[in-house]
């Protein structure tokens, strides 16, 4: 799957900081009847997705279909929930797709797409993963990302992952707690993935977005 989502060219990484007031403003603008109280991650993800689609349209001269994926922690979505200390890659990938113009859906519509995609990774879905048909469910789910996201389909792909509330700022390896935690930057690589890493700020009230994209989208 990942082979079809990597791009060949030049990329760059930038850090965007959203403080508490900026996130509050985004959440107010993103709220709608269908999503009355967007989360921080939903609002910031939809905003970055909207900006990326706008940059793509300006670069190519026409709007392209866009696919977003979000890594989801399965521990909190089982019934009963698993302990946060459960070991293993207990994650899955949610997806949302936009085939209309980003300005037609607006921030509210994109937040709704993100919420809908993530909400499908629920206890019923996890039961299917763990059941006898788990391999078929896995293949079908991955193909829904790999197919539209492939270069042959002409769809822009943007992958999101959330590193909030993982305790990075509480990790003490003997030198005290860290003052600065960052994602991994990428510059000038020939093969890359459009990737957005969302991390909380040290105070816990804001979000830092480490955004790696095709350099032409900046």
Q: Give 86-98 pLDDT, tens digit per residue.
A: 888 889 999 999 9
Per-residue pLDDT, averaged over 164-179, amounts to 89
Residue (of 116, 105, 111, 102) closest to 51 by Cα position: 102
Residues 6+ apart with CB under 8 A from 97: 65, 66, 67, 68, 113, 148, 155
Class of domain 2-217: alpha beta
Which three-class secondary structure state does DSSP give residue 148?
helix
* pLDDT digits 0-9 by tens, 22-36: 999 999 999 999 999
Confidence class for position 188, pLDDT limits 50, 70, 90: low
Q: What is the pLDDT of residue 88?
A: 85
Say if residue 152's pLDDT is above 60: no
- Structural contact between residues 19 and 197, judged by C-beta atoms closer than 8 angstroms: no
Q: What is the pLDDT of residue 149?
A: 54
pTM over 0.75: yes
Q: What is the pLDDT of residue 74?
A: 92
Residues 6+ apart with CB under 8 A from 146: 1, 4, 5
Per-residue pLDDT, averaged over 129-147, amounts to 85
Please give the torsion angle defined by the CA atoms of residues 68, 73, 165 and 46, in that order, rounded to the nearest 10 degrees: 20
* pLDDT digits 0-9 by tens, 37-88: 999 999 999 999 999 999 999 988 888 899 999 999 999 898 888 888 888 8
Question: Can you give 155-209 as a three-state secondary structure string?
Answer: CEEEEEEECCCCCHHHCCCCCCCCCCCCCCCCCCCCEECCEEEEEECCCCCCEEE
- Per the DSSP assignment, residues forming a β-bridge with 212 are 13, 195
């Amino acid at each position: 799957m990942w082979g079809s989502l990597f791009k060949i060219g030049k990329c760059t990484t930038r850090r965007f900081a959203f403080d508490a007031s900026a996130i509050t403003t985004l959440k107010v603008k993103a709220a709608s009847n269908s999503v009355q109280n967007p989360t921080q991650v939903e609002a910031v993800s939809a905003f970055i997705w909207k900006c990326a689609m706008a940059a793509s349209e300006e670069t190519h001269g026409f709007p392209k279909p866009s696919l977003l994926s979000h890594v989801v922690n399965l521990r909190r979505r089982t019934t009963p929930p698993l302990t946060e200390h459960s070991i293993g890659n207990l994650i899955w990938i949610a997806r949302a797709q936009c085939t209309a113009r980003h300005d037609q859906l607006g921030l509210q519509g994109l937040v709704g797409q993100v919420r809908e995609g993530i909400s499908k990774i629920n206890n019923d879905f996890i039961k299917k993963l763990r059941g006898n048909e788990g391999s078929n469910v896995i293949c079908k789910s991955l193909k829904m990302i790999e197919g539209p996201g492939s270069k042959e389909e002409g769809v822009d792909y943007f992958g999101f992952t959330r590193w909030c509330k993982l305790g990075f700022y509480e990790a003490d390896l003997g030198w005290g707690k860290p003052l600065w935690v960052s994602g991994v930057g990428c510059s000038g690589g020939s093969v890359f993935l459009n990737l957005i890493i969302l991390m909380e700020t040290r105070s816990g009230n804001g979000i830092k977005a480490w955004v790696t994209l095709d350099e032409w989208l900046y």
